[in-house]
Amino acid sequence: MNLSRISQICILAFAVPGFACQSPSEAIQPNFVVIFCDDLGYGDLGSFGHPTIRTPNLDRMAEEGQKWTNFYAAASVCTPSRAALLTGRLPVRSGMMGPERRVLFPDSPGGIPEAEITLAEMLKDKGYATASVGKWHLGHLPKYLPTNNGFESYFGIPYSNDMNQINKGPTKELLSPARVEYWNVPLMRDEQIVERPADQRTITRRYTEEAVQFIQSNQQQPFFLYLAHSLPHVPLFASDDFLGTSRRGLYGDVVEEIDQGVGKIMETLTELGMAENTLVVFTSDNGPWLPYGEHGGSAGPLREGKGSTWEGGMREPTIFWWPDRLKSGVVMEMGSTLDLFATFSAIAGAEFPTDRVMDSYDLTPVLLGTGTSPRKSMFFYRESKLYAVRQGEFKAHFITKPVYTGRPENETYHDPPLLYHLGKDPGELHDVAQLNPAVLQQIGKLVAAHQAKMVPGEDMLAARGEKDF
C-alpha cells in the first residue's frame, strides 16, 4: 500500500465517524451495495420529478443521502454499460463495445475478458464477501459468469429478459399481455440453470429476497452486493401484489415494486445495525427505451433515450445513501458509474490498478463533503465510435443517431460539432456552437489527447456462431 492510499484512509478517518487513521489492514471496511436498474429513465422516480410513479423508499433514500443530477452511465445500452461499472474502464478499452453488435446475445461466444479486473475481484482480495444478483449480460458461458469474475455466488438471468424469444413476431405485439413462456430465458444459481423459462412475474421479488438473505448471512465480514434488476426492461412483469396498482400502468407497477425492494434492503441494514457501515448506490444502466411507448420510461427534461448519446440515453437518476456518513443534499457535480471503482477502492483501502488505463475517479470528496468532484469531462461512445464529449457545462456532439429501435439507424456527422450548455439547456435544444468557438477548440484538444492514448480492445461482442448453452 502506497502513501497516497494511506493518506486517503486518514482523510476518511477525519471526515467519517467510525474510521480510524491506521494501517489499511486495520481500517474499518464498509459494505457496498449497488442497485442497478435496466432501462430506467432519468424522470422515472418521484424524487426526480415523476408525477404518477410512487417511489417513497427511493425518495427517502435521496432525502437522507445524496441525489446526483449529473451522473452518467458509460454507455447507452446494457452490456457495455455493465462492463464499465464493474471495471472502471470505458468499455471500448475492454472490447465490450464493438461495431458489429451493441450487446451480447444467447449465441455470443464472447464475454468480459479474463484480463479485466472487476470490482468484485478487487474487493474480494480485501476480504469482502461478494454476490451478484440479477441480470449479468457480460457473457453466459461459464468462464464469463459472475462466479469466474470475482463473485462468490450468482442468482439471476445471464442476459436481457427479452432474449430467447419463442413466440416469433414483433416484440411489441407480445407485450400486452406479456406471457412468461414467450421468452425462454434461464434463471441460474451460480453456473447451473434452476428454472427455464424464468418466471418473470416474481423475478423482482426473488431478487430482493436473495439480496436480503445475502446481507443477513454476511454480518460478520465486509460485503459487496451487486443487485442488477432485469426490469423495467421490456417485457414488463410485476407480482400480483403490484399488478394494476400504479397510476402509471404496468411500467409504474414495475418501478414501484423495485422501490419496495429497495425499502426492504434499507430496512434490513437498519435492523441489523449495519446501515451506518454500508454505502448503497442506486442508478440505472442507460436511459428509457422510448419506442415501446407506455412500456418504456421517461427521460424527464432530457433529450432522447436508450441507445443514443443524447443526455436522455446516458444521464441516470442516481442516489447515494450512507446514514450519518454522507453529506446529504443535491449534488450537481459530474459523476459516472465508471467512478464507483475508484471510490470503492479508496473507501475500502484496496489497491487501485496501475498497470492499465483507468477511467475512474474517486468521488469520496463529494460524498463526504470535503471537496469537489474530480470528474470534469465525460466521453460518450456508441458502438466503437466517439460520438460526443462533455467538458464542464458544455457538451459537443460530433455524430448523432436516433434512439435504439432494433433497426438500422442513420448517423449524422456534424462539422462544426453541435454544442450545448447543459447547465442552461439540459434538454439539448439550443445549439450554441457559433457563439463559443473557444469552447469547441478546447474540447477538440481534449478529444485529441484522449484518442492519442485510446487502444480499443478485441471485440468481444462479435457473433461467431456458438449456440446458447
**For 335-393, what is the HEC assignment?**
EEHHHHHHHHHHHHCCCCCCCCCCCCCCCHHHHHCCCCCCCCEEEEEECCEEEEEEECC
Q: From 67, 2, 133, 101, select the one nearest 317 (Cα to Cα).
A: 67
- CATH code assigned to 379-452: 3.30.1120.10
The pLDDT tens digits of the residues spanning 185-201 come to 999 999 999 999 999 99
Grid coordinates representing 199? 418466471
| More confidently predicted of 202 and 406 | 202
Which residue do the cell numbers 464507483 mark?
Answer: 340
pLDDT of residue 100: 87
Reported as type and span, the H/E element at residue 8 is helix 3-15
Residue 23 has pLDDT above 70, yes or no: no
State pLDDT tens for residues 146-184. 999 999 999 999 999 999 998 766 667 788 788 999 999
How large is the average pLDDT for residues 280-295?
Answer: 97
Contacts of residue 151, Cβ cutoff 8 Å, sequence gap at least 6: 120, 130, 131, 132, 226
Cell digits for 87?
471495471
Q: Is 379-452 in the same CATH topology as 3-375?
A: no
Per-residue buried b or exposed e for 300-312, using 16+ beta carbons within 10 Å of the residue's own CB: bbbbbbbbbbbbb
CA distances from 14 to 65, 117, 340, 346 (A): 19, 30, 21, 14
CB-based contact 119:340 (threshold 8 Å):
yes
pLDDT for 467: 45
pLDDT of residue 170: 65
- Whether the predicted pLDDT of 17 surpasses 50: no
Q: Where are the beta strands (DSSP E) in 7-56?
A: 31-37
123 close to 344: Cβ distance less than 8 angstroms: yes
**Is the pLDDT reported for residue 255 higher than 90?**
yes
Are the C-beta atoms of residues 234 and 295 closer than 8 Å to each other?
Answer: yes
Give 163's DSSP letter: -
Q: What percent of the chain has pLDDT over 90?
A: 87
Backbone angles phi, psi at 427, to 5 degrees: -85, 0
> Hey, what amino acid is at 122?
M
Give the residue extent of every domain in the chain: 3-375, 379-452
453 in helix, strand or coil? Answer: coil
Domain 3-375 falls under CATH 3.40.720.10:
yes
pLDDT at 10 over 70: no
Using the CB atoms, write b or e for 231-249: b if 16+ within 10 Å.
Answer: bbbbbbbbbeebeeebebe
**Residue 436 confidence (pLDDT):** 98
78 is catalytic: yes
Which residue is catalytic, options 37, 50, 137, 140? 137
pTM across the whole model: 0.94
The three state secondary structure string of 292-345 is: HHHHCCCCCCCCCCCCCCCHHHHECCEEEECCCCCCCEEEEEEEEHHHHHHHHH
Helix and strand totals (H; E) in the chain: 11, 14
Contact assessment for residue 211 and residue 265, using Cβ atoms and an 8 Å cutoff: yes
Residue of 37, 78, 233, 295 marked active site = 78
* Residue among 258, 32, 38 at smallest CA distance from 136: 38
Q: Which amino acid, 376?
A: K
Average pLDDT, the chain: 93
Grid cell digits, residue 388: 460526443
| Mean pLDDT within 369-373 | 97
pLDDT at 14: 43
* AA letter at 163: M
